[in-house]
Amino acid sequence: MIEKVQESDNLTDGFHLIIDALKLNGISTIYNVPGIPITDLGRFMQHAGMRVLSFRHEQNAGYAAAIAGFLTQKPGICLTVSAPGFLNGLTALSHATTNCFPMILISGSSEREIVDLQQGDYEEMDQMAIAKPLCKSAYRVLHAEDIGVGIARAIRASVSGRPGGVYLDFPAKLFGQVMDADAGQRSLIKVIDPAPCQIPSPESLARAVDVLKGAKRPLIVLGKGAAYAQADDKIRDLVEKSGIPYLPMSMAKGILPDTHPQSASAARSLVLKESDVVMLIGARLNWLLSHGKGKAWGKNPKKFIQIDIEPREMDSNVEIVAPVVGDITSSLSGFIEKMGENWAAPPKNWTGAVKEKVESNVARMAPRLKNNNVPMDYHGALGVLRSIIKENPELVLVNEGANTLDFARSIIDMYKPRKRLDVGTWGVMGVGMGTAIAAAVETGSQVLAVEGDSAFGFSGMEIETICRYKLPVCVVVFNNGGIYRGSDQNNAGDDVATTIFVRDARYDKMMEAFGGEGYNATSPDELSQSVNEALVSGKPTLVNAVIDPEAGTESGRIGNLNPQSIVAKN
Ligand code: OXT
Ligand code: ADP
Ligand code: MG
């Protein structure tokens, strides 16, 4: 290669081939933390017209990339330095894979020859070996002429079939490698049809339609795969044509407005227990759906229909009597066609029972949402934010915490698809600010991030990033002084209890430190006023919402997952 290059004065190099390959494939936004060996790459990217957002910690850049993938159906790109930067990005890569979001973690790495002989290179680590079990695919590029192939493979792997995280390893030496510019351009690949439709078999559709037809108490469950697929119209057609109640999983809220008459969100326990046929669309029967069995699903036998792009998902927890393996858009097109024109609505005693339960739960909650208690409880504070989202349905809601997450999920109605972004399959804390930043950057919408005070702490430093890029993000920290509650006691020593933070902390001052707006809200009225002012100004804002330290419960709605000690109880 070097000989070839000497004959040419029209040269390109690794840096520029990476940029050209990404741009050729429509990738123009990078979430990164600079350093050796990628600092110049970020600079050159900026000069080439790409948007390069620098974070304070790679994990947050990674969460930004992951959610960018969810929102755009293109791989979100996180760029990190070697070993420690790479490891910091890895949690997010894993999170993307677990959540089926397309993402590529591009990491600089140290010299292969030294790493493999374990001779103690700068930031020495066999990164690819570590990344492999945590992502869909991992690739390393050693030669400049292979950059096009490497990037093409990474893009295709991340978005095709079940989307997920991909690792791309670029050793430091690659960036400076030179080659003839024309040959370089010819080596690049524009990926054609990166996520091809996957058409389900006609037999599987016919089987699924038959099973649904026979149902007396049918239920549709929409998961975040359905939100990702952007099959919003088809989903509406299916739901409305069938007349079947539907239950949106957390990030599927808003595919249809939560106020839709067929929404069974507020009758969750009832529909899981009493349904006889359940049609899963882009939702897995994992822990969030109690694995499709046990107490939550009641005694009545169930038949499951499942639409999913990943064949191995079928029968993962219980028998799927009608598996439909295909992409959601194609599957629903075929399914709706096979339903024909005279689909009988589900029995009235079923839809009536669901409606009745929804109405009674909604009515029970309504007065609590109007309370003006000081200190605020979750219902009073979230009642205010619920009204704000109702008035501003384009707002993207980012949400994490335990009580802050669980109450917000059921209290705040969503009206538009992909507007609720949260902790996902792992219930991971720390996605907040990265998610908020990417949501603002990728959608251009204003963002409201509703954060437990613990949750916020995992990524709080990124409010500097929000201020630096002047993003229209309003963060509301639900400050109850701790994890789950701010009232635990340690009776065994001088340290505070393990779940307790500094009392009366003022998170709003952090935002002010970087030039953003800070508010301290002690009542629902003050909370409403401050968030509304933030929306009008569009400026980075943090509202410290003072919540009653006693208002929460251990682990929110999932306290049952905590192991118990019989010994301690004695
Ligand atoms: O039908 P029933 O009667 O059952 O009623 C249901 C609905 O029908 C009804 N409903 C409604 N009623 C009226 N109106 C409306 N509109 C309505 N809508 C619904 O309400 C109920 C409840 O409905 P829901 O929520 O749909 O149903 P349910 O039963 O809860 O659903 C089950 C699940 C499992 C699907 C659901 O609970 C769920 O999605 N849960 C996700 C939980 C989750 O992921 N939690 C986060 C992790 S917790 C823990 O791990 C934490 N950590 C540890 C940690 C983590 N996670 N990560 C890392 C990196 N390190 C450590 C930490 C540190 S949380 C945490 C911090 C917590 O402290 P914070 O300060 O941040 O937060 P606070 O708690 O606020 O202090
Ligand atoms: P939730 O947590 O909301 O229930 P999950 O993350 O468990 O959702 O499930 C999402 C599912 O959607 C995954 O099994 C994934 O394979 C599937 N999926 C993602 N995109 C598509 C698509 N375009 N077509 C079909 N299935 C998809
Ligand atoms: Mg808290």
Residue 270: in which H helix or E strand, if any?
helix 268-274
In degrees and rounded to multiples of 5, residue 77 shows phi and psi of -110, 125
Ligand 2 atom closest to Cα of 251? 3
- The pLDDT tens digits along the chain (570 residues) read 444 555 668 999 999 999 999 999 999 999 999 999 999 999 999 999 999 999 999 999 999 999 999 999 999 999 999 999 999 999 999 999 999 999 999 999 999 999 999 999 999 999 999 999 999 999 999 999 999 999 999 999 999 999 999 999 999 999 999 999 999 999 999 999 999 999 999 999 999 999 999 999 999 999 999 999 999 999 999 999 999 999 999 999 999 999 999 999 999 999 999 999 999 999 999 999 999 999 999 998 999 999 999 999 999 999 999 999 999 999 999 999 999 999 999 999 999 999 999 999 999 999 999 999 999 999 999 999 999 999 999 999 999 999 999 999 999 999 999 999 999 999 999 999 999 999 999 999 999 999 999 999 999 999 999 999 999 999 999 999 999 999 999 999 999 999 999 999 999 999 999 999 999 999 999 999 999 999 999 999 999 999 999 999 999 999 999 999 999 876
pTM of the model: 0.98
Can you give 43-88 as a three-state secondary structure string? HHHHHCCCEEEECCCHHHHHHHHHHHHHHHCCCEEEEECCHHHHHH
Centroid of ligand 3 to alpha carbon of 392 (angstroms): 26
Averaged pLDDT of the chain: 97
Ligand 1 atom closest to Cα of 289? 35
Centroid of ligand 1 to alpha carbon of 555 (angstroms): 8
Ligand 1 atom closest to Cα of 364? 13
- The DSSP 8-state label assigned to residue 36 in this structure reads T
Out of 280, 328, 409, 420, give the residue to mutate to test ligand 2, the one with the largest number of ligand atoms within 8 Å of its CB: 328
CA distance 360 to 357: 5
Asked if residues 419 and 456 have their Cβ atoms less than 8 Å apart, the reply is no
For atom 11 of ligand 1, the residue with the nearest CA is: 266
Q: How far is CA 70 from the centre of its chain?
A: 7
Query: Half-sphere exposure (CA, 13 Å, Cβ side) for 490?
Result: 10
Centroid of ligand 1 to alpha carbon of 403 (angstroms): 6
Please indicate whether residue 409, judged by its CB atom, sits closer than 6 Å to ligand 1: yes
Ligand 1 atom closest to Cα of 401? 71
Please indicate whether residue 518, judged by its CB atom, sits closer than 6 Å to ligand 1: no
Q: How far is CA 419 from the centre of its chain?
A: 11
Please indicate whether residue 545, judged by its CB atom, sits closer than 6 Å to ligand 1: no
Asked if residues 303 and 241 have their Cβ atoms less than 8 Å apart, the reply is no
Ligand 1 atom closest to Cα of 249? 35
CA distance 200 to 334: 8
Asked if residues 11 and 181 have their Cβ atoms less than 8 Å apart, the reply is yes
Please indicate whether residue 225, judged by its CB atom, sits closer than 6 Å to ligand 2: yes
